[in-house]
Amino acid sequence: MPASSASSSEKPYHHGNLREAIKDAALDVLAREGASAVSLRDLARSVGVGHSSIYAHFRDRSDLLAAIAGAGFAELLQQMNAARSRPGDSVANLAASYLHFARTSPAYYKAMFLPETSRPENICHVKGACEQCFQVLIEALGQNASLSVPETRERAVGIWSSLHGLAMLGDDAGPLHNHIAPDSELDIASSIANAVAKGPWRPG
């Protein structure tokens, strides 16, 4: 049974912040081997504590992955807010910042969209920051006074969906990786976002 503290037979605890140490170790595994390789027992061994010590900080493996996903959305939100404040087309800037985040923080990005993150018991980790990211995009689109509130939201969904597709398909392991020049990805992202934001729209 999971315990809240290490037994006397377990390795001594030497970390000032075990929760963050576990998350950092899990991110390293995510970057190198993917989500399927994340194991609480292996993570405990890598940070030098007993297996049961992890349960003082994470309910289970899915809770850990969702916590990492939440941190990823929080970082994405920070970068989107910074991008929106820059001069120029705010929608294009947001799109470029989104893809830049996906490429420079691939472990976070992949964790953010794992099935585990949307489980009812885990959604608390990601819901707030995820909705704020969406709101930043809606507010940027809302600068176009001709768009109704429903159309603004629909176009925001279309932009995020398209950017996510580009991020995944153009990933190192994606089927379009060899067809997308790395130095053109940000321009593609901006062009997609502007096409959805400003082009003809036929909802329903």
Q: What is the pLDDT of residue 204?
A: 60
Percent of the chain's residues with pLDDT above 90: 79
Instruction: Specify the CATH number for the domain of residue 143.
Output: 1.10.357.10
- Dihedral (Cα; 142, 145, 148, 149), 10-degree rounding: 30
Provide the sign of the torsion angle of the four alpha carbons 5, 6, 12, 13, taken in this order. Answer: negative
156 Cβ contact partners less than 8 Å away, ≥ 6 residues apart: 134, 137, 138, 141
Residue 47, token pair as written in the block: 């940070």
- The SS3 of residue 202 is coil
pLDDT in tens, 35-90: 999 999 999 999 999 888 999 999 999 999 999 999 999 999 999 999 999 999 99
Instruction: State the chain's mean pLDDT as an integer.
Output: 90
Is residue 37 within 8 A of residue 27, CB to CB? The reply is: no
Residues 69 and 162 reside in one and the same domain: yes
- Band the pLDDT of 1: cuts 50, 70, 90: very low
Cα–Cα dist 8/61, whole Å: 24
Number of domains in the chain: 2
Let me know whether 48 and 71 are in one domain.
no
Q: Is pLDDT above 50 for 106?
A: yes
Which structural domain range is residue 25 located in?
1-58
**Domain end residue (candidates: 23, 38, 58):** 58
The domain that holds 37 is classified in CATH as 1.10.10
Is 203 within the bounds of a domain? Answer: no
What is the pLDDT at residue 145? 79
Nearest residue to 197 via CA among 136, 153, 164: 153
- Same domain assignment for residues 68 and 41: no
204 in a structural domain: no
State the residue for tokens 């970057």. Answer: 31
On whether both 82 and 50 belong to a single domain, the answer is no
